[in-house]
Amino acid sequence: MKGIAGEFQARKADGRKIAALTAYDYPTARLVDEAGADLILVGDSLGMVVLGYPDTTQVTLADMIRHTGAVTRGAKNALIVTDLPIDTYDTPDQAVASARQLIEAGARAVKLEGGAAVAPQIRALVAAGIPVLAHIGMLPQHIREEGGYKIKGRTAEEAEAIRRDAVAVQEAGAFAVVMEIIIPGLTAEITPSLQIPTIGIGSGEGCDGQILVLHDLVGLYPWFKPKFAKQRAETAAAITTAVREYVADVHGDTGMTPP
């Protein structure tokens, strides 16, 4: 097996963990890439952390195309994957048409949400030569139906559905699967049962890799902090301090000469 699918299965077989982060623009993509991330996701999470929407459901394909182009110009080494936003992959044909636009913008693969329900779309994308990163568990594009972010896999019925979804996306041809906010015991059980890597977000350490929204990692979005995300910097605080000092200088409150 060659290409992205073969590379990721080899990583899993060798026990090499996958470090993934989101990026939405040129400077952050370049920084993340130069710092050594294996995979950069141009996530529709940009709806909240960049565009100021309450969730991902207002993000459009045009938004994803523009931000994919910016990220592609910044990152030269990491695998760039772009989210297919809501209502752009309702059918296999629509999924392929939408994905082709993202590939033209610079993405090397696409991500879509859902398990067995979107297996036909995954098959169509793979048949068209477009690598697919699957996404099961908590599905942000369905947050309004769910009534918020909820841990998945707590009941026997829910756990069995997640197991079926994991197998379904693998059989459909996905090269890896994101597992979002699933109870850690379940992800630790599923991960060794699959040939493709699992990439966790809020799902424990039993996955083959981890992904985080960059803003959560560096403290750039202080208005919402996921409990599972370890914040490793205080970027928002640093920006606020710098701007306050600049404003004070310009206003003449410090006696310093404005730049």
Residue 229, token pair as written in the block: 């995300």
Compute the chain's Rg from CA coordinates: 19
| β-bridge pairing 198-201 and 209-212 | parallel
Distance CA 168, CA 10 (A): 20
- Give catalytic status of residue 205 as yes or no: no
How much of the chain is in helix, strand and coil states, percent to nearest 5?
45, 15, 40
Distance CA 172, CA 211 (A): 22
Residue of 158, 171, 180, 245 with catalytic role: 180
Length in residues, the chain: 259
Q: Which residues carry out catalysis?
A: 180
